[in-house]
Chain A
């Protein structure tokens, strides 16, 4: 594994998006990992539609029937992959733009830009997560966002952060070996996490979370997709 790695430098990550006052982080996490997988497969970075997922995806988990995708009220990335496999693909942002509100489903299969053929969870070991990130592209991640409301920058490494209360979907795009610490309490390895709250939040829209401790449950809900190339 390289000491540090960043898919942004390789052109696999779209610009930071804004979900607005809508609990659709799961949709942004989903599109992020598909955008990355498609880039690795085709060399083209496409900006994909979250609104399609918000409007059209009502999939529930196969085991937990109460864990259903429900537009701005929340969802799960693994449900969204299942929906996209069944629906026949996902449109681009331009053809199905984001509004931040749930509306009628307007998905047109003929406009699908990327098709999802499979997905998987990634082992909770953070070295494994790093290996899958490097080999398969940006990964969808769920974490406990309790410290993110007040986060401005630096490497977040809280002394206490619940690992079992995962409530926010984000995108893992890379990692670094020595994170900048404004209080100079020591450099530490960190994950580079793309968020969907705009560039005015955090490190230009990104969250730096310390690596190797399962911090805030970031290792418990990690997934990757495989896309179809024509």
Chain B
């Protein structure tokens, strides 16, 4: 193997078809509005691809969540995995059980009727 040869292993090239499209115009507005900067052209294209996927995802969320408004947000250039890694941070919440860390159970119930 020649160490000088760097192989493309991601699918960046698959997003080139988005260049010059209506989606890219949206993406440019997004980049301008949120002051986004990408170090290389390849990264720009990659983020454009994720942005396009997130537009589809926002439409899906809108269908599933009709009383809210879903669309372009500051996180529209992040994959779901990147978003979770960068902006979410509760660990150990998968069981649904309340972790008490030494305190005795749960607060007493209060009167809530009337």
Contacts and interface: CB of A to CB of B under 8 A. Distances in A.
A88 interface: no
Given A151-B68, A155-B67, A26 B90 contact: yes
Contact of B68 (A66, A156, A165, A224): A156
A62 B99 CA distance: 8
Contacts of A67: 91-92, 99
A62 B67 contact: no
Interface stretch (B19-27, B41-49, B70-78): B70-78
B80 interface: yes
Interface string A150-166: 11111111111001111
A49 interface: no
B96 A152 contact: no
A21 B85 CA distance: 9
Interface residues of A, number: 81
Interface stretch (A37-45, A68-76, A91-99): A68-76
A152 B112 contact: no
B89 A147 contact: no
Given A82-B101, A166-B94, A220-B98, A74 B89 contact: yes
A201 B106 CA distance: 33
B65 A168 contact: no
B98 to A, nearest CB: 4
Where chain A touches its partner, the secondary structure class is: loop
Contacts of B80: 149
B64 A158 contact: yes
A166 B90 contact: yes
A191 interface: no
Interface stretch (B1-9, B10-18, B54-62): B54-62
A149 to B, nearest CB: 5
B102 interface: yes
Given A23-B86, A75-B90, A154 B112 contact: no
Interface in A189-206: 197-198, 200-201
A185 B71 contact: no
Given A120-B107, A154-B68, A163-B96, A62 B102 contact: yes
A182 B68 CA distance: 7
Nearest to A135: B110
B90 A154 contact: no
Interface of B: 34, 54, 57-58, 61-62, 64-76, 78, 80, 83-103, 105-107, 109-112
20 contacts: A19-B87, A61-B99, A67-B99, A74-B88, A82-B101, A122-B106, A147-B65, A149-B75, A150-B71, A152-B71, A153-B68, A154-B67, A156-B68, A157-B65, A157-B68, A164-B94, A168-B88, A183-B67, A188-B67, A221-B90
